[in-house]
Amino acid sequence: APTPRAARPAMERPQCASASVCVHFAPGEAPHNLHKALTLFGRFGDIARLEMTLVGANSRVHVSFFDARCTEKVVAEFKDRAELCREAAHDFRALSITASVFAQLPATIAGLHTFGEVAQISVCADGD
């Protein structure tokens, strides 16, 4: 049988940043509808995905943000009730800009890093 939540050892945090976090709530404390969950977690940043299917079974909510720094704020507030988790394969954000359009961007755009952390950039010829 699984051990009670309070008896479990401290959870290890992944070495790398993650834009996904799982928050475990005490019985009756979990947000019970989408509006409440969006209000609760939306204050940490823009939400990419909200998974509430486990709320009824084990009071857990999985949240993926567009910016991995948001999960650190969630962990700081919820402490041992929150853990970073691996992102699902479909939890990546991609942007495709043709080279010719990218070259024409105004100088007021300081670079892609202004939109958050960038994990990878691939440069392809137009039409690829």
Q: Can you give the pLDDT at residue 15?
A: 47
Q: What is the dihedral of CA 55, 56, 59, 62, to 10 degrees?
A: -20
State the Cα angle at 84 between 83 and 85, rounded to 5°. 110
Q: Can you give the pLDDT at residue 86?
A: 77
Question: 16-85: what CATH class?
Answer: alpha beta
Query: pTM of whole model > 0.75?
Result: no
Q: Can you give the pLDDT at residue 9?
A: 42
Q: Can you give the pLDDT at residue 1?
A: 46
Arithmetic mean of pLDDT, 113-123: 65
Higher pLDDT, 2 or 84: 84
Whose tokens are 């890093």? That residue is 113
H/E run at residue 50: strand 47-51
- Inform me whether the pLDDT recorded for 101 exceeds 50: yes
Q: With contact defined as beta carbons under 8 Å apart, do 114 and 95 qualify?
A: no
Number of H helices, E strands in the chain: 4, 4
Q: With contact defined as beta carbons under 8 Å apart, do 109 and 97 qualify?
A: no
Summarised one tens digit per residue, pLDDT across range 37-65 is 999 999 999 999 999 998 988 999 999 99
Domain ranges, ordered by start, for the chain? 16-85
User: Across the chain, what does the average pLDDT equal?
Assistant: 78
Summarised one tens digit per residue, pLDDT across range 5-44 is 444 444 444 445 788 999 999 988 999 899 999 999 999 9
Whose tokens are 């970073």? That residue is 84
